[in-house]
A and B are shown apart, each in its own frame.
Chain A
Amino acid sequence: MATTVTRPGGPGGPGGPGQGPGGGAGADIGAGADELTAASIAALVSDAPTPRPTLAKTFWAMMTREFRVLRRNAISTFTRSVMQPLLFVFVFAFVLPKIGGGMSVAGGGGGGGTNFATILVPGLMASMLLMQGIFGTTMPLVMEFSWQRTIEDRALAPVPIRMLAVQKILAGSIQSFIGACIVFPIVLFVHAAGQAPHVNVTNWALLLVILVFGATMTSSLGLLLGTLMDPRKMQMLFAVILLPITMLGCVYYPWSALHTIRWLQIVTLINPMVYMAEGLRAVLTPSLGHMPLWAVFLALIGGTVLFGYLGTRTFRNRVVN
């Protein structure tokens, strides 16, 4: 065979880092002096292994890819995420009590005042579920749907597009779940003397279930947002969605305490964060007033199904034009 292919230049050649991936290419393919024979290219066809894809194998390979990326970015991802709850408990459960500004909240079901750290533990865990669920799903999607459409890398894998959407939800859920687990000891142990939160987990299985459903619901919401939002308007995500959801999501106060502002108590029922915070409140700080668990589960399961259905639908429409 007469055809030859020129070998590219060495590491210091024009192909080095810093050149844009999609921009005009340097002459790197032909920069080197030696040549590859056509035989090595030809062998790629003749020696190719027989593919044996199944939906399960492909799905698992995609999850493995997510774990690889998560592991590579773990420190930056979780450091960034932990800062907000860490600073929050540091200021409200350590600094303010130390300087005489400690807060307490009258829970709807409780008789006396409850220290603020006790309110914060379930609230900040719920907040972490939401943040990680959204960031673990929405942000990668926004990048993948940007002008280069790197989503096509996965979209061309031999699985239905809806399964790819489900894989995105699962990957986001795992990140969300891990985030909540990381923040748990922080909000539990960072406090001033005498300001320890009164946490009493009577049912660990129930806690696990609520975390799993909460993580799944938030990553489903993340999928929906990631497929609906214009990448150029991402700052709107914080201002219009995350900030209101968090501030009005019963993170910093129990839902029952809103009975004095009845209209707000009713309006907040459309906020998915309320149910995660109240569900965690029910299993972590049961002495505080909280929503009944049936309402929590109804909302978490209903939210997961609704956001999951809408998210996979919009995802499919974005991937397949």
Chain B
Amino acid sequence: MTITTAQDSERGQSAAPVPAINTKDLRKTYKSARGDVEAVRGIDLDVPAGEFFGLLGPNGAGKSTTIGMLTTLVRPTGGAAMVAGHDVVRDPVGVKRRIGVVTQNNTLDMQLTVAENLEFRSRFFGLSAREASRRAAQLIDAFGLGDRRKAMASDLSGGQARRLLIARALVHKPDVLFLDEPTAALDPQTRVNLWNILRVLHEQGQTVLLTTHYMEEAEELCDRVAVVDHGRVLAEGTVGELKENAGAVTIVTVRFEEQIQADFPERAGVTAMPGVTSAEISGDQLKVFSREPEGLLGELVALGAREGLHVRDAATQAPSLETVFLTLTGREYRE
């Protein structure tokens, strides 16, 4: 897929294919007196136009730093990044002309009203006062902010502010829309409604890069996902591909009435079962990772009974982004 830059359109030339986002070995190291912190350690991304791409990872994984570099607000310390055909270091103004950004924090202009936030952002992008006013009215209606039009941005609730942030990012028809944790701290209903808005935008061909630490958000919205942790991409692909190829496994958890001995998995032959990749003991809990989960739960219960263990409860977790993350990192997903 390709995108045509506004400049190309204005010139009426046939546009050369330009990926929406392309990074090569992108790096960021923060220097401080207490030592350097490698926030991003060489990320390669290739996002074609029209794609809804997700960066999934826990807090501190390097997602926001990556989005910061792509939106020109964080200076890379290595590698290269192009957004809509513009180099983020050499041509930050060119990048900013073609992107819309919904920041993680509420960066609305608190000195302005809802309508003014949209009008002035439109004017920053070259619209006349009349065009800006018309665009603001359109955005206010579409995002259901009509009754808050004259409210100061500082008086909006979190959900309203989030909608206004998204509306503001769309004033100038950006080639790429960046969303940094857009639903963080929102209640479930508000989150689902924002997802619907984002789905519609995507259906209209809007390229979106979303960072999130919500597994279900990435599964719901993204065409492709990169799982990020400690500043590196651990795996990349569609959710289906990740589940299939990234070693995602079913996790069977059995909790017994009694404490389990540490050598139980080996002694009872759990780790030798077909498809089992590993097993963990934590107090009274046995967690088994398997690619062939059929009948596993019954076998574990039977093995436990042979050792004199009585089952309290059990659960099976099918392959998901969460299990992908667990498989890739060997750690519980931390939000």
Contact = CB atoms under 8 A, between A and B. Distances in A.
Interface of A: 1, 3-8, 10-11, 14-30, 32, 36, 38, 40-55, 57-58, 61-62, 64-65, 68-69, 72-73, 143, 147-161, 319-321
Nearest to B68: A321
B270 interface: no
7 contacts: A10-B147, A28-B157, A29-B190, A44-B142, A51-B125, A152-B105, A158-B96
B156 A5 contact: no
B204 A150 contact: no
A22 B74 contact: no
Given A38-B203, A53-B125, A65-B116, 20 more contacts: A3-B200, A8-B145, A10-B147, A15-B160, A19-B157, A21-B108, A21-B155, A23-B185, A24-B186, A25-B159, A27-B159, A27-B189, A30-B193, A49-B172, A149-B103, A151-B107, A154-B109, A156-B72, A156-B101, A159-B93
A227 B163 CA distance: 30
A55 B10 CA distance: 18
Nearest to B167: A44
Contacts, number: 237
Contacts of A154: 109, 124
B262 to A, nearest CB: 42
Given A16-B157, A22-B161, A27-B159, A158 B124 contact: yes
A147 B103 CA distance: 13
A5 B196 contact: yes
A321 B32 CA distance: 12
Given A21-B156, A23-B158, A25-B190, A51 B173 contact: yes
Nearest to A62: B124
B112 A42 contact: no
A158 B93 contact: yes
Contacts of B187: 24-27
B126 A53 contact: yes
B97 A158 contact: yes
A133 B158 CA distance: 34
Interface string B112-126: 100010001101111
Contacts of A157: 96, 121, 124-125
Q: Is the interface of A mostly helix, strand, loop or mixed?
A: loop
A49 B157 contact: no
Interface string B49-89: 00000000000000000001001111100000000000000
A69 B123 contact: no
A95 to B, nearest CB: 38
B127 A51 contact: yes
Contact of B200 (A5, A20, A48, A69): A5
Contacts of A7: 144
B138 interface: yes
A154 to B, nearest CB: 8
A15 B141 contact: no
B209 to A, nearest CB: 15
Given A1-B203, A15-B160, A36-B142, A49 B131 contact: yes
B108 A153 contact: yes
Contacts of A19: 156-158
